[in-house]
Structure 1
Amino acid sequence: MTPRTVRRTRDSSGLSRESILRAALEIIDEDGIDGLSMRRLGRVLGRDPMSLYRHAANKAELLDLVAEAVLVHLSVDTTDTDWAGQLRTVARQFRGLALAHPNVVPLLVTRPLATPIAMRPLGTLRPLEAILELLIRAGFSEVDALHVYRSFYGFIQGHVLNELQEIVENREETDDLLRLGLHRLPIHEFPQLRSLAPVLAAYDGATELERGMDILLTGLRAQLRPTTPPPA
């Protein structure tokens, strides 16, 4: 599956959906989801905010379109016979998108949870469809393919949320315990957490992603195996 381009439409003033979404994403990148409004978007584009409603009925629909515009860059090669390697590639892509647009992560991870799957924007469902196709082509049953997908997405979504969280309390401190603020924890109640201060401070998101994928894929291979060999 190759990245799809966002549907390009223009209104009578020549304003394209692509330019609207690009400006909306820039606002979210700068000031978060709460910083985006139709009024501000219109001001950035130099247009009457009412003209934007030809492309998005409201802010909620605009946010869905932004999520689609970001996920369009998540590509899945459904013909790859190395299903595990392809999942690892997709995980790296997802992390890259999250780091490039951290303020968009709630639209990709938490916002969909409040929407029934059949009512979600089609662009946000395409990675699901593509990964299911990848796994079924590899020989997994439809049910097992869904199990693999859920485990995979649960891991990468949890990973990016964990990586993007702020853990440093005082950046000027050189002592890891003080830098993370863990010295505030009662030593007798949290000895393990306090002792892990150097490890927490040295967190490497890329390395942790690879380690986590190693563990996940090893477990999946042990419990779920393709029932037929992948096609030649």
Structure 2
Amino acid sequence: MAERPIGRQKAQSANRVDGRGDGPVTRTVVLDAALAIIDREGVDGLSMRRLAEAVGRDPMVIYRHLPNKAAVLDGVAEIVFEQLSVDVTDTDWATRLRVVARDFRRLALAHPRVVPLLVTHPLATPLGLRPAALVRPLEAILELLTRAGFSGADALHIYRALFGFLYGHVLNELQEIVERPEETDEVLRLGLYRLPIEQFPLVRELAPVLAAYDGELELERGLDILLTGLTATLSGPVR
């Protein structure tokens, strides 16, 4: 098949346990429950005891599948990343990378409290020690780009540039906090009145632009800049 899923697709909702149930407790059931907790309460709201309560079992049942909270967090990152897919046979590599970028943003916005597990947590773990699902995007994109004719080294540069941009983008988008939404003046809503105008004239001047932040448009503009730059600076696919 042309479409290569990065890991398994998430199970259908009918096969999941979100809360107490009488079905068998599997690793998938535990991780789905953990994802539901994090989506509602954040990573700090997750504990092994809280997780056991969510699946209606003794905590020792949880430990049979996942030895500690760190393993649970890795597993949650896995099941989210596994929803990402790459068509490695697509000959239009730039368009395919745009699709990957849009899908990554969609996952991040669907699970904003999981984003630290997708973005910052893996960076603290050596590549070879990360869960396989977190490494498969790298493998798939390397295959996509080398199939298109790029050298392995250039394919790696493109992957790093793309995901470096994506990680920064989703963190920035999720942190676009409006301090005083009832205010119509952009300077007040963004708290820019706290910045001395003589020290930050350009930031203050851009208040209307900052207030009109559109994550989707910012992503597309960033991809335009990134992919145009990569096309111009790399030697291009070897034919």
Same fold (TM over 0.5): yes
Q: TM-score, normalised by structure 2?
A: 0.91
Looking at structure 1, the residues matched to 116 and 71 of structure 2 have their Cα atoms a distance apart, in angstroms, of: 15
User: Where does structure 2 lack aligned partners over 5 or more consecutive residues?
Assistant: 12-22
1:223 aligns with 2:233: yes
- 1:166 Cα offset (Å): 3.6
Question: Are residues 61 and 47 of structure 1, via their aligned partners in 2, closer, same or farther at CA, if it must alter by over 3 Å?
Answer: same
Residue equivalent to 2:5: 2
Listed as ranges, the matches of 1:45-84 within 5 Å are 45-84=55-94
1:127 aligns with 2:130: no
Q: TM-score, normalised by structure 1?
A: 0.93
Q: What amino acid is aligned across from residue 26 of structure 2 in structure 1?
A: S
Partner of residue 177 from structure 1, selected from 166, 174, 187: 187
Q: Is the 8 A contact 2:6 2:136 kept in 1?
A: no
Residue equivalent to 2:15: none
Looking at structure 1, the residues matched to 122 and 28 of structure 2 have their Cα atoms a distance apart, in angstroms, of: 22
Write the deviation string for residues 110-158 of structure 1: whole angstroms up to 9, x where unpaired.
0011111111111100001000000000000011111111111101111
1:194 aligns with 2:194: no
Runs of 4+ in 1 over 4 A off after TM superposition: none
Looking at structure 2, the residues matched to 225 and 103 of structure 1 have their Cα atoms a distance apart, in angstroms, of: 39
User: Where does structure 1 lack aligned partners over 5 or more consecutive residues?
Assistant: none
Listed as ranges, the matches of 1:84-123 within 5 Å are 84-123=94-133
- 1:169 Cα offset (Å): 1.0
Write the deviation string for residues 85-107 of structure 1: whole angstroms up to 9, x where unpaired.
00000000000000000111111
Q: What amino acid is aligned across from residue 118 of structure 1 in structure 2?
A: G
Looking at structure 1, the residues matched to 225 and 158 of structure 2 have their Cα atoms a distance apart, in angstroms, of: 13
Looking at structure 2, the residues matched to 34 and 75 of structure 1 have their Cα atoms a distance apart, in angstroms, of: 29
Q: What amino acid is aligned across from residue 200 of structure 1 in structure 2?
A: L
Partner of residue 140 from structure 1, selected from 150, 166, 176: 150
Q: What amino acid is aligned across from residue 77 of structure 1 in structure 2?
A: D
Secondary structure at the residue paired with 2:8?
coil
